[in-house]
Amino acid sequence: MSELQDLYQEVILDHNKKPRNFGRLEGNGPREGGRVLHADGHNPLCGDRLTLYVDTDGETIRDIRFEGSGCAISKASASLMTEAVKGKPLAESEKLYRGFHELLTGDPSVRGKAGAELGKLAVFEGVREFPVRVKCATLAWHTLQAALAGGEEPATTE
């Protein structure tokens, strides 16, 4: 059971059950000087779908929300990602994205301090042992990249 416990850590189960920043970002709209970007993410392998809404002034992620359906890993990852990047400069969110990717797919011996800088996001380290689930954990991050790039194409893990 131990690898399973590493995968389904309490924090992940909690965010799966009670996702943070869940829902659309509209109504109050973007604050002055900014705009709300959004992008769809799709993991065709398991049918995970999410839509991400990002309120940014081009420098900082002022607000971020998501909605959609997916497995525990993809939902918790989206939830924890929104917590991690909310209020952060875009450059820092980019750094977290690279660190997160490294945590899941990089060579552990040369990974360096990525884990230490990721804070709560490090709970996803257990996903390394489940290579087919890596896409679930990275879906939200790919979707964030797509939203910030302003592309029309939905992000996909394929």
Partner 1 sequence: MVLAQQKTVKSGFDVDSVRRDFPALRLEPYGKPLVYLDSAASAQKPEVMIKAEARCYRESYANVHRGVHYLSAKATVAYEEARRKVAGFLGAADPNEIVFVRGTTEAINLVASSYGRRHVGEGDEVLVTTMEHHSNIVPWQLLCEEKGAKLKVAPIDDRGDVILEEMEALLSERTKLVATVHVSNALGTVNPVERIVELAHARGIPVLLDGAQAAPHMPLAVAALGCDFYTMSGHKAFGPSGIGALYGRKELLDAMPPYQGGGEMIRTVTFEKSEFAPSPAKFEAGTPNIVGAIALGATVDYLEALGMHRVEAYERELLAYGTEALESVSGLRLIGTARHKASVLSFVLDGVHPHDIGTILDREGVAIRTGHHCAQPVMDRYGVPATARASLALYNTRSDIDRLVEALGKVREVFG
Q: Does 3 bind partner 1 (CB under 8 A)?
A: yes
Q: How many residues does the chain have?
A: 158
Instruction: Return the DSSP state at 119.
Output: G
* Strand 35-43 versus strand 155-156 pairing type: parallel
Q: Does 110 bind partner 1 (CB under 8 A)?
A: no
Q: What is the 3-state secondary structure (H, E, C) of 131-144?
A: HHHHHHHHHHHHHH
| CB nearer partner 1, residue 33 or residue 47 | 47
| CB nearer partner 1, residue 24 or residue 69 | 69
Q: Does 134 bind partner 1 (CB under 8 A)?
A: no
User: Number of H helices and number of E strands within the chain?
Assistant: 6, 4
Q: Does 45 bind partner 1 (CB under 8 A)?
A: yes
Which residues make up the interface to partner 1 (CB under 8 A)? 1, 3-4, 7-8, 13, 17, 45-49, 69-73, 75, 130, 133, 136
